[in-house]
Amino acid sequence: MGTFDGLSVALSALQAQRRMLDVAGQNIANVNTEGYTRQRVNLQAVGATTVKGVWTGSSNSLGGVQAVGIERLRDAFLEVRGQAAHGAQGELTASQGVLSQIEQVFPEPSDSGFGEQLSALWSAFQDVANQPGDIGTRTALLQRASAVGDWLNAASQQLTTLSVGAAAEAQSGVDEVNSLAQQVADLNLAIGDAQHSGLSFNDLADKRDVLTMRLADLVGGQAGIGPDGAARVMIGGTPLVAGTTVRQMQLTGGGATLQLSWAQDGTPVQLTGGQIKGLVSSVATAIPSWSAKLDSVASSLASQVNALHSAAYDLDGNVGGPLFTGTTAATISVAVTDPRKVAASSVAPGPGGPSLDSGAAQGMASLGASATGADVVYRAMVSDLGLAVEAVTRGASTQQTVTDSIDSARQSYAGVDIDEEMANVVQYQRSYEAAARVLTAVDATLDQLINRTGLVGRQ
């Protein structure tokens, strides 16, 4: 080491420690910044060159230390686990939300629920059986029947509205995915340019990580970083983003035919998770399934009541027709408007005129206790719905625990610990002071050599 080399060594230490102080300060400043990854300066001793030469000779290295880069402290394995967990959580949360809204359509037990409406209808039939000639009880029966039909119509409409709303939410999610994918591609380009220019791109990488995690929430996308530093986002084995290339998504069809596909060729997107998968599945499968079960309730009610009513006789001795029209929850309605047309008698009119027999009305009243009646079908549907909501809620809660645990591990590894950073600041400060003392010591030595050598014997 030459006479003045000590100054260069001390200077390199000062510069390195100052760089580390700057990075620690940036970490502290961003302790509450969403998506920020703590950074660390990588130091390397300045030594002899490792490049082989044709002629050997003395090294020109002065020694010391240098900062060779600023590293983002991210665990790739935890990031992959986090993306998978967020995808599963997004799907379960979306499914739970839709099922919970379906459950609200059937408020049971409740005074305004369908079970109470059916009970009131059977009671009205019983009242007609007790007083077959009374117009008032017949009018009340038609009102109860209309209330049952109206309730089924409204419930069916609510399910349709829910389906439309979920599809609109899914479309909004698809639009967001397309926008996020383009942003990731743009960041890939910017990061590549920064790498080629030797500039720091850590902040750009942080922003890209936030976007890829959001893609995991929406469509279960799995992101990986290639050797060139570009992120590649895969969905079901197909790249959504590859470098600067983006594949757009689209929703096609509606209701039970709703499907997510690639805009370029129309092939279905094989989602492995995400909110959009939960929404599309709800619109295409879950809501139609519960609508079909509600239609079964309406069909059972109409067919059983109509079978008895069509074989009975009204107050004028005429054969009754169907009491209800329509066989689905959306179309069922009361076909009889005249209370005299309510067929309550099971006995045909004799020579003396119409009979006031009430056997048919009694038979329709007893449908409430039938083992295959609309009440049983409806109760089974409500029970199945309750179990389905309970299952998806339990699954969402369990997955939330898993997701929170992984996020905690990710934050522990990549997040800023203010206490640790403050300790690092003290350490770097002391190292800076030590380098300054070395510089002072070398300066004092040089002062002795330059200014005092050769003064011996002078007057």
pLDDT tens figures, 51-68: 555 555 555 556 788 888
Q: What's the confidence (pLDDT) of residue 353?
A: 59
- pLDDT bracket for residue 10 (50, 70, 90): confident
Task: Please tell me the least confidently modeled range out of 251-255, 378-382, 444-448.
Answer: 444-448
Q: What's the confidence (pLDDT) of residue 51?
A: 59
**Distance between CA atoms of residues 373 and 394, nearest Å:** 32
Task: Please tell me the least confidently modeled range out of 235-239, 348-352, 354-358.
Answer: 348-352
Q: What's the confidence (pLDDT) of residue 59?
A: 53
Domain locations along the chain: 5-73+418-452, 82-405
- pLDDT bracket for residue 1 (50, 70, 90): low
Q: What's the confidence (pLDDT) of residue 260?
A: 95
Q: What's the confidence (pLDDT) of residue 4?
A: 74
**Average pLDDT over the chain, rounded to whole?**
90
Q: What's the confidence (pLDDT) of residue 217?
A: 96
Q: Which residue has the higher pLDDT, 67 or 277?
A: 277
Taking only the tens place, the pLDDT of each residue in 131-149 is: 998 999 999 999 999 999 9
Q: What's the confidence (pLDDT) of residue 27?
A: 92
Asked if the model's pLDDT at residue 47 lies above 80, the reply is no
Whole-structure pTM value: 0.86
